[in-house]
Each structure stands twice: as structure tokens, then as C-alpha cells.
Amino acid sequence: MKRLIGFLLGFATMIMVFGAIYVAASVYDTSEKFAVEPYFLRTSTKSSDLPGLPKSLDEVGKRKLRDWLIQKYVKEYFYIVPDEENIAHRMEKRYKMPLYVMSGPTAFAEWKQDVAPKIQAMASNGVRRTVTVFNEIFKPESSDYWRVDYELKTWYKPNDMSEEPTITRGTMYLDLGDDEHVKHIGDVKQPIEEVQNALQRGVDPAIVFVFTVYKVLNEEK
């Protein structure tokens, strides 16, 4: 009986020690946990030199962030800088490239086939183009596509300060997927450790948010 009690006591102590080790390890793991908290600084409308005040994701709201991501996508789709390497990089299927990451396979393939060659030819001729989104971005109830009005300013003659840019306008229709996907637009992608690593490697911050364009229809005016 005495030995049995001794054995049980020893056994109980051993279980307690293992339990304590397990609990200590969980506490250690918990303490190592981190979260990526994005804050946004947006240019003040008063001057491009004023960066504005930092706003947290909650303050910005997912709807506003969705609009920003759409603007970013439209910009990536059309902008031109006079650098052939830039467009060559944008055509690569690399996880650093915003347009590739933010597009579904069909949308990216169509851009690469229809838009990219034109941009590449223009870039090699020294053309610069900027993109501005105007009007409200919305999805008509009867449509599956989000409507985005944009304006392109194109400078065709580099180093000519008398040149006024050519302004063209158009409307893009974006398929952002079903309601379930739209609901998650603006969430930070998981796992969080990979997001953190990506940010530290210097990827474009836009690609750390959930956002995919599956299909693009474009109407130039």
C-alpha cells in the first residue's frame, strides 16, 4: 500500500510536471504572437507635400479601402512610365507585381495580351501616362460588374515643356467575384507571418490585402 501510494504520488507529480511544461510552452507561444496593424497615410487634398494624418484600418473602413484598391488596380492597369524595364516587370508572373497578384488568371492574361504590348510600345517611345479615377465606384444592382470611370493623361513628347497632355476618359467594368469575396476585400491575407515577411521584403503594400479582379471590360470614350 505504501509503495502504491508512493508510485501514485510520483506518477501524479510527473503528470503535473509535463502539464506545467505544456502550459509554459503555450504561454511562451502566446507571448510570441504578433499582429500586423496597417495604418494609412493619404495625401492631403490641400497639397501634395502634406501627408495627412495616419488612420487605422477601422477608421478608414473596408468600403473606402475597397475603393482605394480598385483605384490602385486601374492605375496598375494603365499607367506608363518611360522605362521599358517597368513594363517588362509588370508582365512577369511574380508575387511582387501588384497587377499579377490583384488579377485573376483570365484578367491578367487578357491584360498581357491586349493592353501590355501597347503600353510597352508607348514606353519605349518615351510616353508617360497617369491615371485618375473619378466619380463614385459602384455596382449597379442588375450587373455583376463594378463600374469605374477613369481619366488618362498622356504625354507623348518627353522633354517638351510646352506639351499639354492628351486627356482621354473611359469606363472600366470589373468583376470582383461573388458577394462572399467582396465581403472579404480589404482583409489582411493570412498567414500573418508571411504578410509580415512580404512587407519587410519591400513588396507593394497593396498586395497584402484580399482583392482579386476576375474579369475586366473596358470602354474607352
Partner 1 sequence: MDYPEDFDTAAFPAGKRIAISRTFGVWVLIAFFLVVACCIAIPWLQNNRTINPYVIYIDGMRGNWELVGQVETQDIVPYYTSIQRALAGVFTEKWFTISDNPELNALHWKQCSRDTDCVDRIVSTFENSGGCDLYCIMSDNMYRRFTENTLPLYKMYESMGQRWNVDFSKITVSPGGDVTLNGGMWVVHARIRSNLNGDFDVIAYVKIARDVERYPQTLGFYIAEFNAYREL
Interatomic CA distance for residues 170 and 48, integer angstroms: 26
Interatomic CA distance for residues 165 and 127, integer angstroms: 10
Kindly tell me which of 86 and 171 has the beta carbon lying closer to partner 1: 86
Radius of gyration of the CA atoms of the chain, in A: 26
The CB-of-85 to partner 1 minimum distance in angstroms stands at 6
The CB-of-73 to partner 1 minimum distance in angstroms stands at 10
Q: What are phi and psi of 125, to 5 degrees?
A: -95, 10
Kindly tell me which of 54 and 105 has the beta carbon lying closer to partner 1: 54
C-alpha cell at 147: 463600374
Sign of the torsion formed by the C-alpha atoms of 118, 80, 100 and 173: negative
Residue type, 202: G
The CB-of-141 to partner 1 minimum distance in angstroms stands at 28
Q: Which residues are near partner 1 by CB under 8 A?
A: 5, 16, 20, 23, 26-27, 30-43, 45, 48, 51, 54, 68, 71-72, 75, 79, 81-83, 85-86, 89, 98, 126, 128, 130-132, 153, 155, 158-163, 165, 196, 199-200, 202, 204-206
Q: Across-strand partners of 150?
A: 133, 170
Kindly tell me which of 91 and 206 has the beta carbon lying closer to partner 1: 206
Kindly tell me which of 142 and 162 has the beta carbon lying closer to partner 1: 162
The CB-of-168 to partner 1 minimum distance in angstroms stands at 15
CB neighbours of 136 closer than 8 A, spacing ≥ 6? none
The CB-of-31 to partner 1 minimum distance in angstroms stands at 5
Interatomic CA distance for residues 110 and 100, integer angstroms: 12
Kindly tell me which of 104 and 126 has the beta carbon lying closer to partner 1: 126
